[in-house]
């Protein structure tokens, strides 16, 4: 599968294939979010999958919430639950005005985009959609400190800075991140807080994740 077919790497054939079975699990810290936002703030969940976070935000009383994802099957799964989530054919074409969103969530999406270039393009896009002072809430993985993970990490297309890439037996190419890369990726933002949590991956393995809140 060519993961570089678009500027922002996309493996939608994979996500469409597994869309019916996978359960996504990174937890949303509503209590923390509520410290930043009133109930009328606008939220966008980028790479929303089947919309579980959109559903949770709505259940928590936030009303201006929308999700976007490139997998039509995942979107379809959430639409069956009448969630306000939308399919985008092109990951770099997010149909929102610039400077219009209070908060964008990016949960377990960077891990699906193996290249530095793809990730940088996406973060630039999301930056443009946030209002000045808007928040980006990221949940993702640094490099895991266990032998089984360490042994499978490679460089994306042999680029020396693009480390932490691995391919699952089921076909997707994923990525874990060096701290240096994450710091440089969000250099245009101010860090508000960072937490570390243990999560179950979509394949049922235990992993250490970071959650980062950064401000435009
Ligand atoms: C591990 S799932 C997480 C879904 C959701 N954020 C959650 O936590 O429930 C990753 C999601 O990112 C989406 N995705 C992957 N690459 C993407 C891209 N380049 N643009 C938009 N969505 C993407 C996939 O379709 C999938 O829904």
* pLDDT, tens digit, 9 for 90 and up, residues 193-212: 999 999 998 888 899 999 99
What are 47's two structure tokens?
A: 């790479």
- How far, in Å, is the centroid of ligand 1 from the Cα of 109? 5
pTM: 0.94
Rounded to 5 degrees, φ, ψ at 197 are: -140, 160
Handedness of CA 28, 31, 37, 38 (dihedral sign): positive
Supply the pLDDT for residue 149: 73
Using the predicted structure, report yes or no on whether residue 161 has a pLDDT greater than 90: no
Average pLDDT over residues 170-197: 95
For residue 203 the two structure tokens come to 């394949």
* Among 90-104, 126-140, 143-157, the least confident range: 143-157
Over residues 63-73, mean pLDDT: 97
Atom 10, ligand 1: which residue's CA is nearest? 109
CA pair distance 202, 13, nearest whole angstrom: 17
Band the pLDDT of 3: cuts 50, 70, 90. Answer: very low
Say what the pLDDT of residue 72 is. Answer: 96
Give the C-alpha separation, 208 to 216, whole Å. 26
Atom of ligand 1 nearest to the CA of 52: 9
In a mutational test of the pocket of ligand 1, which residue from 1, 4, 47, 170 has the highest number of ligand atoms less than 8 Å from its CB? 47
pLDDT band at 2 (very low <50, low <70, confident <90, very high): very low
Answer whether residue 43 shows pLDDT above 50. Answer: yes
Model pLDDT, residue 147: 74
- Whose C-alpha lies nearest to ligand 1, atom 15? 112
What integer pLDDT is reported at residue 162 of this predicted model? 87
CA distance 192 to 136: 10
């Amino acid at each position: 599968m060519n993961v570089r077919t678009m500027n922002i790497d996309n493996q939608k054939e994979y996500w469409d294939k597994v869309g019916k079975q996978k359960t996504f699990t990174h937890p949303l810290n509503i209590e923390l979010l509520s410290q930043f936002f009133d109930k009328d703030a606008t939220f966008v969940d980028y790479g929303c999958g089947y919309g579980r976070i959109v559903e949770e935000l709505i259940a928590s009383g936030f009303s201006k919430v929308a999700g976007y994802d490139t997998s039509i099957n995942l979107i379809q799964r959430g639409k069956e639950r009448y969630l306000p989530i939308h399919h985008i054919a092109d990951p770099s074409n997010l149909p929102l005005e610039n400077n219009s969103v209070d908060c964008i969530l990016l949960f377990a999406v960077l891990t699906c985009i193996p290249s530095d270039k793809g990730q940088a393009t996406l973060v630039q896009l999301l930056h443009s959609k946030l209002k000045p002072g808007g928040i980006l809430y990221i949940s993702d993985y640094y490099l895991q400190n266990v032998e089984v993970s360490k042994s499978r990490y490679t460089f994306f297309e042999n680029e020396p800075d693009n480390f932490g890439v691995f391919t699952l037996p089921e076909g997707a190419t994923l990525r874990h991140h060096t701290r240096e890369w994450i710091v440089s990726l969000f250099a245009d933002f101010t860090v508000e807080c960072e937490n570390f949590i243990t999560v179950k991956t979509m394949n049922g393995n235990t992993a250490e994740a970071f959650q980062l809140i950064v401000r435009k």
